Chains A and B, each alone.
Chain A
Amino acid sequence: MKTSKFNAKVAGVAVLMAVFLLGVTSLSAGHADGGHSLAILHVNDVHGVLENLDRVSWYKQKLEEEYDEVLTVTAGDIFTGNAIVDEYVIDGENLRGKPMVDVLNEVGVDLSVIGNHEFDYGQKRLQANAENADFEFILANLEVDEEVAEVELPPAYVKMETSFGAELAFLGLVEVRDKYPATLPTNLYGLTFNDPVATAKEYSYLTDEFDAYIGLTHLGYEWDRELAEEVGGFDVIIGGNSATAIAEPGLTNDVLIVQAGEDLEFLGQVTIEFNEENEIVERSGKLVKVTEIEGSDDEVKEVIEGYRAELDKIFSRKINHLDEPIDGTENLGCLMTDAVVRSPKLEEMGYDVDIAFQNSGGIRIGALGPGDVTVGDVFDLEPFGNDIIVYEMTTDDIKSVIRNDFDDHGPTDLKVSGMTYKVLISPENEVEEVKLYNYYGEDLPEEETYTVAMNEYIASSYDFSARNEGENAHVRVNDAIVTFLEDVIGEFELNHTYGNLDRTSKSFVGEGVPLAETEVKLSSEGKTEGSTSAGNLMADAIKAVTGVDVATFPSYSGLNAGADSISAGSEVRQPQLLTLYGNYINENKAVWGEISGKHLEEFLLERGQAYDNVDLQVSGVNVTYQAEDGKVTGIETDLKRDKTYSVSFNSYAYGGDYAPVPGFTKDGETELTEQEMLFEYLDGVDVIGENVAEDRVIIE
C-alpha cells in the first residue's frame, strides 16, 4: 500500500450560511475569537451502494464553503452487497471493488479504515483497490507476513494538518472474533489480527501529540464504547460495523462516539471547534438523511451512471449453456443446493458439506434457460445474496428442520442436495415420520453426523434443534451458484442432470377423510397477488360458520404458497386439502364484531398498504386496490360506507399485526379453530363450486 500521505487542504472560505439544507442550522465559521471549525463527514458499511454518493459529494462541497476544513472518511465495509461492485469482472479481468473506489475517489474521500468485508474479494484485489484509491486505507491491529501475504501492511494511523494548522491523527481498528474479522478465513493467509483494544492502548500516546485524536473503527458500537471506556484519549470515535445510526451522539468517558447506519441511508457529520491555539473547545455530531440532500455533484453522478450502464455487460457474462430449460422448484432447488455441496470455496475453508437445503420461497424464477446461462440469470434465481450457514447435525437435527418446514411452509418446501427425504403425513395433517435416504435409496445412517449447509433465511427463520450452533461461512449462495456453473459443472453434466429430479416426496398415511368434490382447482399459489381458491374457500367457511357479513383470512401466514394444488373434478380428502394451509389454522380462531363500512374499507386499505400486496383473503366483499409503482395507493369496494357490518378477523392477527382496528367493536371469539370451521363447513357441502375461483381481491 502507499505510504501515509499528508492531506494538505486549501483553506476553506469562511462563508456564513444561516440555514442551507434540510432545515439544519449550520455552525458559523470565521470565528470572531480566531478559532476554527472542522467538519468530518463519515459513512460506514456502505456495502457497494454507489447511488447517492453524488449527493454526499455535493453536501461536502457546500460544507467547504462554510467550514475552515472538511474531511470525508469511511469507517469500513465499503465493499460487498451490490452486484455492480461485487461482480465487476470485465472481459475476464477481475476488477471487483473498482467501481466503489473510483466513485469514492471522485467524491474526494480522504481516508478509510479497512473493514472486514474489504477482504472479501481476496488480498490481491484489496491491494489493487488500495493502489487505485486516492485516499489512504489504514489499520493498526494487523500484522502482515510479507513472505506469505499478498497485501502490504497499511499504515496504523495517518496524521493530517488542517488549513488552520491543527494536527489530527486517525487510528484504524477492525473487529476480531476468534482470531479473524468476519470474512472468508481463506482470504486471510499471512495476516495476523490483534485485539483492537490492546492495540489502541499501544497508540494511546498519540492523544498527547496531536490536537485531535480520532479513532476510525470498524468494531461496532458496543466495542467502540468499550474502547472509549478502557483506552480513552480519543476525542472522537467514528465507527462502523454494527450499522448503528447514532442520531444524537453522546460522550462516553469524554469520547464522542458516532456512527451512520449502513447502506448510505445516512451521512454522518462531526463538527469540531478549535480555539486560536488549536485546542478543541466543542465536539458534536449529527446524521443527515442522504436522500434528502437536495443537490447532486454531476461529475460524481457521471461516474456512477457509467458503472450502472455496465451492469448489463456484467450480468450478461456467459457461465454455461442449456439446450433445454431447467424448470420447477424441485429441479432448480437441486441445482442450487448442489452448487453449495460442491462449492470449492467451502471446501477450501475446510467444510466438507454433505447436505444442503434451499427453501422454495427463495427460488425466484420458474425456469433457467434455454440458451446461454449468465451471471444475471443467477441473480434472478437467487437475488437475496444470502450467506451460507454451516452446521454439524445428527439425523434427528436434520429431521427437525424438515418437520419445522412442514409446519410453516407445507410438505417438501425444502429442496435438498446430498440426500433425499420423504415426509409421511397423518390424516390430521401432521408429520407422522420423516425418512432420510442417500441417493441409492438407503436409510441415512443415524449414528453419523453430517455437515449441513443452508441459507441464512432458513437458518434464522426456521425453528429447529441446533439452530444456534451454525457458523456463517461468509460465502453467498448466488456466488456459489455462479462458481458452480462456471467452474465446477460442465455443459454436458448440466444438461443431463436437472431434467426430472425428485429428491423430496410426501405420502399420506391412510387415505384420509373424504370431504367433498371440487369443480375448480384448489390452489394457494399467488397468495399475496390476489384471491386464491384455497383462500376464498377458507373465508367462505369462516363466514358460513360465524354468520358474519364479511370474513377475512390472512394470506401470508394462512396459506402455503408452494403446496400442490388439487385438480378440478377430484375428490378432496382431508390431508391433501390441509397442505394448502399453514398449520397456523390449527391454532387460530376468528374474532367477530361490528364495524362500519367506512372503517372496514379503511382497514382493508391499511392491510393492502402494509406490504403493498394482497394481505387478506375475503368472503362477502369485493376489493380492488389501486397501485402505482408497486405501491398500493387506493381502494374501491362494494361496501356501503354508512352501513354497519358484522366482520371476522383471524384471532392472532387481530391481537397483533392488525391492532388496533379503528371503529371495530369486538363481540366474541369462536370456540372452533379455523381448521375446524373449514371441516364443519365442508361437512355440509357436497361440491365445492365455481364461486371459490372468484377474483374477490385484485390489484389494478
Chain B
Amino acid sequence: MEVEVNGEPVKVFSGARVRHAIMSYSLEDYRLINAGKRLVVDEAGNEVQLGGELTGREKLTIVEASGGREDLQDGSQG
C-alpha cells in the first residue's frame, strides 16, 4: 500500500495506520508528533491522529503544532 506524506510516496504494509506511514517517512517527525511539536493533517486540513487506519488514498502533511501535548513522550522504541 502506498500513501503520500509531505508530497512523497511512502510504502507501508497492508493494514497500516497513520503512525506507520509517519515512521516510514521520518522517525524524527514521528518523535516530534508524539511530543506534540508537530501534527498530521489530511488534504482537507483536518488533524489526523496516529491511530487512524489508512486506505491507501491518503495525502498526509506534517505541520508544526501550536503547543505541546500533556502526555509528552518521544514514542521511540529504538
Supposing A220-B53, A468-B13 touch, asked if A409 and B20 sit within 8 A by C-beta, the answer is no
Q: A656 contacts the other chain (Cβ, under 8 Å)?
A: yes
Q: B46 contacts the other chain (Cβ, under 8 Å)?
A: yes
Partner of A656, one of B14, B28, B53, B58: B28
Give the residues in chain B near A81, CB-CB below 8 Å: 51
Taken together as a complex, chains A and B put the C-alpha atoms of A468 and B48 apart, in Å, by 22
Question: Which residues of B14-30 are within 8 A (CB) of A?
Answer: 14-16, 18-21, 23-24, 27-28, 30
**Is B52 a contact partner of A220 (Cβ separation < 8 A)?**
yes
**Is B11 a contact partner of A265 (Cβ separation < 8 A)?**
no
Taken together as a complex, chains A and B put the C-alpha atoms of A471 and B14 apart, in Å, by 5
Taken together as a complex, chains A and B put the C-alpha atoms of A291 and B71 apart, in Å, by 12
Question: Which residues of B33-71 are within 8 A (CB) of A?
Answer: 35, 37, 42, 44, 46-53, 55, 57-58, 70
Contact count A vs B, C-beta below 8 Å: 127
Partner of A265, one of B13, B18, B21, B49: B49
Name the distance in Å between A605's Cβ and chain B's nearest Cβ. 14
Partner of A359, one of B20, B21, B24, B77: B77
**Which residue of chain B is the closest to A218 with respect to CB atoms?**
B53
Give the residues in chain A near B50, CB-CB below 8 Å: 243
What's the tally of chain A residues with a CB closer than 8 Å to chain B?
A: 56
Taken together as a complex, chains A and B put the C-alpha atoms of A55 and B27 apart, in Å, by 34
Taken together as a complex, chains A and B put the C-alpha atoms of A222 and B59 apart, in Å, by 11
Name the distance in Å between B76's Cβ and chain A's nearest Cβ. 7
Supposing A461-B27, A610-B37 touch, asked if A245 and B53 sit within 8 A by C-beta, the answer is no
Give the residues in chain B near A359, CB-CB below 8 Å: 77-78
**Is B11 a contact partner of A242 (Cβ separation < 8 A)?**
no
Supposing A359-B77, A461-B23, A656-B28 touch, asked if A241 and B52 sit within 8 A by C-beta, the answer is yes
Supposing A242-B53, A243-B51 touch, asked if A470 and B76 sit within 8 A by C-beta, the answer is no
Supposing A243-B48, A243-B52 touch, asked if A409 and B78 sit within 8 A by C-beta, the answer is yes
**Is A468 a contact partner of B11 (Cβ separation < 8 A)?**
yes
**Which residue of chain B is the closest to A387 with respect to CB atoms?**
B15
Taken together as a complex, chains A and B put the C-alpha atoms of A182 and B35 apart, in Å, by 28
Residues of A within 8 A of B (CB): 45, 47, 81, 175, 182, 220-223, 241-247, 250, 259, 261-263, 265, 291, 359, 361-362, 384, 386-387, 389, 391, 408-409, 456-457, 459-461, 467-472, 474, 556-557, 561, 610-613, 630-631, 656-657
Give me 27 A-to-B residue pairs in the complex whose CB atoms sit less than 8 angstroms apart, sorted by A's number: A81-B51, A223-B55, A242-B48, A243-B50, A243-B51, A244-B46, A244-B48, A245-B47, A245-B49, A259-B46, A261-B49, A263-B51, A460-B16, A467-B11, A468-B2, A468-B11, A470-B13, A471-B15, A472-B14, A474-B15, A556-B76, A556-B78, A557-B28, A611-B31, A611-B74, A612-B74, A657-B28
Residues of B within 8 A of A (CB): 1-2, 11-16, 18-21, 23-24, 27-28, 30-32, 35, 37, 42, 44, 46-53, 55, 57-58, 70, 72-74, 76-78
Closest 9 CB pairs of A and B: A472-B15, A243-B52, A468-B11, A470-B13, A460-B23, A243-B49, A460-B20, A242-B52, A611-B74
